[in-house]
Structure 1
Amino acid sequence: MSMLAAIGQVANFAVGVAVNPLTFLGLVPVFAAGLTFMRYISFDPEAHPININHVRPEYDFIVVGGGSAGAVVASRLSETANWTVLLVEAGGDESEISDVPSLSGYLQMSPMDWMYQTAPPNEESQYCLAMVGDRCNWPRGKVLGGSSVLNAMVYVRGNRLDYDHWERQGNPGWSYEDVLPYFKKSEDNRNPYLARNAYHSEGGYLTVQESPWRTPLSIAFLQAGRELGYQVRDCNGEQQTGFMLSQGTIRRGSRCSTAKAFLRPVRNRSNLHIAMHAQVTKVMIHSKTKRAYGIKMVRNNRPQLVRAKKEIIMSAGAIGSPQILMLSGIGPRDHLESLNIPVMSGLKVGYNLQDHVGLGGLTFIVDDPITFTKKRYQTMQVAMEYILHEKGPMTSLGGVEGLAFVNTKYAPESGQWPDIQFHFAPSSVNSDSDQVKKITGLRDSVFNTVYKPLKNAETWTMLPLLLRPRSTGRIMLKSRDPSVYPDINPNYFTHEEDVQVLIEGIRIALNVSSTRAFQRFKSRPHKIPFPGCRQYEFDTDEYWECSIRHFTFTIYHPTSTCKMGPATDPDAVVDARLKVYGIRNLRVVDASIMPTIVSGNTNAPTIMIGEKASDMIKEDWGIEII
């Protein structure tokens, strides 16, 4: 896309109307447009990766999925010059719009999104009751860079105890001390107060920094944390419990996806081929030797077989990887046989599905004009500040200005393994009604009753998330046809303790609003109930449980469907080297291998998994790791 068209597209999104690029440029001095163009050409060396036209019949390694893990693996394996690597991605490339941090919500339900939805609830598990069809949307990136192109760019590593717990479950090499070097290997931290300590680093491919812009409410959020007895700290550092300004994967005011971080710098490596718009339908496995020797994929409506001399690495994500494995005969025997799929290895693929879930739309009202509203910040002036200076509101990390990790009464007594995470945003559901309804799937009747009355109000929101759910779900095939989406049953709230922990988290969020820091702005909760919850009094346990089951909200962190574990674990799909049990030369490298979900956003841990797996693959093929 030309810079002229890019400016026009950013303007379209910024002001919410159709703007002709030429008309838009007419509002700006010609020299400014010229300087902008020269800045992108002269100072942005990150030309987009090359989409190879002709795929070879054979490579040493085939990486399936170019997302948060797959982009890392392909980049790192191609560092070995005599290895040939093919990266296969079902989607296309990023766009200039996906670069703009504040526009992340506009990418969901777009061609860059697989647009998955959960299965409707059942008698045992009631959730998403305020959504159209009682289904929650589950965005997943169908684009080079995967969900790192759609997400809010929040950089959180999880808790050190998460990884120590992985190791205690029989996964040697996955303790916190083992994985910390891989977090640091990726990182190029550009906040000086963070970069020069034992927990962060500079010079990696992945840029991490705070947004250069925030509202006054972000400072109130930190002050509120102190009032409640929490420290303001780097939650990616020595301890996690506390409040912080969000760290994000952004660079020069723009999104830093894994495609931008790991693939653009190596785009000219002759041993790395990237095939976009190519959907893998099956892993080819020799029926007698049980060796994975190739993949079937569809590209330009034509099927193609590509062979792998060394290994196939599945990095299609917590939904895509189990789907492709099951289509290939790796999965629960009874389930595969019911679909007449020959079983190559009977493993519990698709089980153990975990996600971070919470209450959406927890809204607070303030009197001062300081919140992030569409009418105030989506203007031509704001767009030009971003285009010319890479600053201003459009650098906001999907609107998430602050994070907190807090302890309910159900958390371990040490206080070092918090069980609730807050995402703080100086805006709310009412800020952009059409887009919010599109993303969340909220019924019109629910939105109009609960949030439309706030159309002109100044509001902010807190999203309380359950960090370590006891309830687990499952991914199942609906058909042998690869184009048919699998059944996604998250089984939210089947364990009553999950609901109880969330209710405690909601009450802590109410306490945040009640602090002196927020009372300066006369903050108070929005109390109009969901239509299905009118029979309950506000702030009773029954009221909050009903609200949670209606506006069930996930920030799209599915994990654990190809569980890593020892051979003695009947639920394990891969071992600690991420090799699939019973199949040679096949690994899974993405969020699906997590034995238990991490206590925090999953993008950074998934990148870490890609880094660590790349070194393990090199070691297993005789490459010395320095």
Structure 2
Amino acid sequence: MTIATVTSLAIKGATLLLGKVAIIPIIIVALAYYNYDLMDPENYPKVTNNIRREYDFVVVGGGSAGSVVVNRLTENPAWSVLLLEAGGHETEITDVPILSLYLHKSKLDWKYRTQPQDSACQAMVDRRCCWTRGKVLGGSSVLNTMLYIRGNRRDFDQWESFGNPGWGYEDVLPYFKKSQDQRNPYLARNTKYHSTGGYLTIQDSPYNTPLGIAFLQAGEEMGYDIVDVNGQQQTGFALYQYTMRRGTRCSTAKAFVRPIQLRRNFHLSLWSHVTKILIDPVTRRAYGVEFIREGRKHVVHARKEVILSAGAINSPQLLMLSGIGPRQHLQQVGIPVIHDSPGVGQNLQDHIAVGGLIFLIDYPVSTVMTRLVNLNSALRYAITEDGPLTSNVGLETVGFISTKYANQSDDWPDIEFMLTSSSTTSDGGTHVKTAHGLTDEFYNEVFESINYRDVFGVFPMLLRPESRGFIKLRSSNPFDYPLMYHNYLTRQQDVDVLREGVKAAIALGETSSLKRFGARFHSRALPNCGHLPLFTDEYWDCAIRQYTMTIYHMSCTAKMGPPSDPMAVVDPELRVYGVSGLRVIDASIMPTITSGNINAPVIMIGEKGADLVKRQWSPRRKRDNVTSDE
């Protein structure tokens, strides 16, 4: 990020956070560096004004997978590729790690909300969970917290055991490494699990509070090792690794799309809302898409393939709008059935955590927004690319632990601790509360008394939920948001595991490593649960249904599987069953959700999916495990 770009951030972001401040010196810096910024080699890629009638490949969705796909397919100069993205460009604000939650419910967010359900999200407005999804080039990698977690090797071996050859851990590891440019020199030396030179920059945080290391020490007190969670062993504690470059967000748009903007065979169309996949009803071949840009309908054809990379909500929505989905449902909303595929929109999985597990401390070492975001920190960020603005909303340390419901002798933990030097109250009940969708009544009763206090938070996240949600069309109108049913905590196993995760989180706060900061649990009883004896199993069973946090990992809604699986939507080559010339490459193809934050696996799916496309259309090419660049 150039100084001028950060200056623009300071003008916009500092005003957003602090109101009017003395920003004249920063404006002067902006003017001084204006011409340099125009020559930034990482500047935004230009939108193609004159879209051709036909391309070899049309990719729908420029998110974490789609950005990778267009990069890799355009390596072949003989292939023309069009990327259609419903949103626009990233902004200077999106670059700044500490501001990620301020992007929720912005113009870069689809602003999805689930249908009201009694099983979870009872503390949210209308009992509806907020499902933030990126409507921007780079997709949700522009809005997320940049956590780079690959998942557990057993996740991928399980995918393979379901009848998906080529998706075992040893098969997918090279694709994780292919993307990676690991900036931690200690990790980079471990060439079995890490690599350098890829498009995606992975680095440690430039800024940590003393709590980050204290969390590691607390994990050791509880009997866990300090590990590389993306290496040989997942169980244990570690400082997070981030998709960050020189202290700024490294979205997939920045990593994979900006470097290819001068390739002649790559065209980009932003603010382009795809409404339908065009499928010949006789041959059942996908031959193009319809989309709306600037209020006008456009049609573009694909000589080879249409590739859906629109994500776990939009990809099944588009399949159903185009006649691929459960027959009865499509008939109910008046869509002619091209192929009866009962699994489309089903099998929805997500990671949830319990919010509000807050520990007060006696030392000013936590991430309190009013203390960290100021003119000095903005200047430090602009000049040295470090400091408080590189803090990832306080996320510093991760812990993977096994509850009594997991196999204690196996390295396949069932809870992830997201350990933060901040919490819901660190901004005084403004943006975090709004991003999470909490009601004013719930927030004020439970948290208002500790606004802006020094705290840390423990967010226990359920790694492998048994509960399954689903997505349905609201109507045949492509601009109507689909109906989304999360079904969180509808399986008792999920309640049991998450309850044990909460107990372990409370125990972590009782370790001497954290007690030396004066740590004490904020034990205010939650509304709707006050009638139960405090901190009993019955109380926690109630509490986890109140402040139920999605971690925004919607997935598995067009799952991959063998032909014998009636609920499989795509085959192991990611080709849609029943229709030729159509492939899905994004989080929706996961058979089961991975054990950890899913952005890294989605990027891996983009890498492997692109290779599968290449292998089909380049039959004489040497078929290495991971193909070389063209």
Compute the TM-score of the two structures, normalised by the length of structure 2: 0.96
Match of residue 278, structure 2, among 267, 281, 284: 284
Q: 1:286-311 CA distances to partner (integer Å, 9 max, x unpaired)?
A: 00100000100000000111000000
What secondary structure does 1:582 align onto? coil
Matched, 1:493 2:496: no
Match of residue 391, structure 2, among 362, 378, 396: 396
* 8 A Cα contact 1:467 1:598, kept in partner: yes
Query: What are structure 1's unaligned runs of at least 5 residues?
Result: none
Give the structure 2 partner of residue 367 of structure 1. 362
Q: 1:7-29 CA distances to partner (integer Å, 9 max, x unpaired)?
A: 24424423623448xx613368x
Give the structure 2 partner of residue 137 of structure 1. 130
Give the structure 1 partner of residue 171 of structure 2. 178
1:412: Cα distance to partner? Answer: 2.0
What secondary structure does 2:408 align onto? coil
* 8 A Cα contact 1:90 1:279, kept in partner: yes
Deviates more, 1:145-154 or 1:52-61: 52-61
1:54: Cα distance to partner? Answer: 1.5
**Distance in structure 2 (CA, Å) of the matches to 1:456 and 1:431:** 5
Match of residue 227, structure 1, among 208, 221, 235: 221
**Distance in structure 1 (CA, Å) of the matches to 2:541 and 2:179:** 40
Give the structure 1 partner of residue 7 of structure 2. 7
Provide the identity percentage: 52
1:606: Cα distance to partner? Answer: 0.2
**Distance in structure 2 (CA, Å) of the matches to 1:164 and 1:2:** 43
Q: 1:400-454 CA distances to partner (integer Å, 9 max, x unpaired)?
A: 1111110001112323000000111101111111112210111101111101000
Match of residue 548, structure 2, among 531, 545, 552: 552
Give the structure 2 partner of residue 66 of structure 1. 62
Counterparts of 1:509-520 in structure 2, within 5 Å, are 509-520=505-516
Give the structure 1 partner of residue 263 of structure 2. 269
1:370: Cα distance to partner? Answer: 0.8
Counterparts of 1:197-208 in structure 2, within 5 Å, are 197=190, 198-208=192-202
**Distance in structure 1 (CA, Å) of the matches to 2:517 and 2:606:** 44
1:522: Cα distance to partner? Answer: 1.5
**Distance in structure 1 (CA, Å) of the matches to 2:306 and 2:93:** 32
Matched, 1:346 2:345: no
Query: Quick one: which amino acid aligns to residue 143 of structure 1?
Result: V
RMSD: 1.7
Give the structure 2 partner of residue 245 of structure 1. 239
Query: Quick one: which amino acid aligns to residue 26 of structure 1?
Result: P
1:531: Cα distance to partner? Answer: 1.4
Give the structure 2 partner of residue 524 of structure 1. 520
Q: 1:304-325 CA distances to partner (integer Å, 9 max, x unpaired)?
A: 1100000000000000000000
Q: Structure 1 residues 244 and 440, CA, compared in 2 at 3 Å: closer, same or farther?
A: same
Match of residue 52, structure 2, among 46, 50, 56: 56
Q: 1:435-481 CA distances to partner (integer Å, 9 max, x unpaired)?
A: 12210111101111101000242111011110000000001001000
Matched, 1:410 2:388: no
Give the structure 2 partner of residue 294 of structure 1. 288
Give the structure 2 partner of residue 589 of structure 1. 585
1:533: Cα distance to partner? Answer: 1.1
Give the structure 1 partner of residue 183 of structure 2. 190
Q: 1:114-161 CA distances to partner (integer Å, 9 max, x unpaired)?
A: 000011005xxx111111100010000000000000000000000000
Q: 1:370-389 CA distances to partner (integer Å, 9 max, x unpaired)?
A: 11002210111111111111
Give the structure 2 partner of residue 24 of structure 1. 23
**Distance in structure 2 (CA, Å) of the matches to 1:173 and 1:74:** 22
What secondary structure does 1:212 align onto? coil
* 8 A Cα contact 1:215 1:370, kept in partner: yes
**Distance in structure 2 (CA, Å) of the matches to 1:205 and 1:27:** 31
* 8 A Cα contact 2:6 2:382, kept in partner: no
Matched, 1:167 2:160: yes
Compute the TM-score of the two structures, normalised by the length of structure 1: 0.96
Deviates more, 1:451-460 or 1:416-425: 451-460
Q: Structure 1 residues 312 and 578, CA, compared in 2 at 3 Å: closer, same or farther?
A: same
1:591: Cα distance to partner? Answer: 0.3
* Aligned structure 1 segments of 4 or more residues deviating by more than 4 angstroms: 1-6, 32-42
* 8 A Cα contact 1:199 1:237, kept in partner: yes
